[in-house]
Amino acid sequence: MVEAYQRRSALAHFGLNALASQKADGAGITLGESAHRAIINIRGDAKDPAFTAAVKNATGCDLPAAANTVATAGDVRILWLGPDEWWVVGTDARRAGLIDGLRSAFAGQHTNVTDVSESRTVITMTGPAARDVLARGISLDLHPRAFGPGQCAQTSLSRTNVLLHQTDNAPSYEIYVLKSFADYLWRWIGLIAEDFGMAVKAE
Please report, as ranges, the residues that interact with other proteins according to CB under 8 A.
67-68, 81-83, 85, 139-140, 153-156, 161
Minimum CB–partner distance for residue 154 and other proteins (Å): 5
Closest CA to 67 of 50, 84, 51, 54: 84
Minimum CB–partner distance for residue 151 and other proteins (Å): 11
76 within 8 A of 90, measured Cβ to Cβ? yes
- 43 vs 103 by CB, closer to other proteins: 43
171 within 8 A of 131, measured Cβ to Cβ? yes
Closest CA to 165 of 37, 58, 46: 37
Minimum CB–partner distance for residue 131 and other proteins (Å): 17
- 52 vs 155 by CB, closer to other proteins: 155
Residues 6+ apart with CB under 8 A from 102: 40, 42, 54, 55, 58, 59, 88, 113
Minimum CB–partner distance for residue 100 and other proteins (Å): 27
Minimum CB–partner distance for residue 161 and other proteins (Å): 6
- 26 vs 82 by CB, closer to other proteins: 82
What's the start-to-end Cα distance of the chain, in Å? 21
Burial 132-147 (b: 16+ CB within 10 A, else e): bbbeebbebebeeeeb
- 67 vs 96 by CB, closer to other proteins: 67
121 to each of 39, 65, 107, 164, 191, how far by Cα in Å? Answer: 10, 25, 30, 12, 20
Minimum CB–partner distance for residue 79 and other proteins (Å): 12
- 117 vs 151 by CB, closer to other proteins: 151
- 35 vs 79 by CB, closer to other proteins: 79
Closest CA to 43 of 118, 114, 120: 114
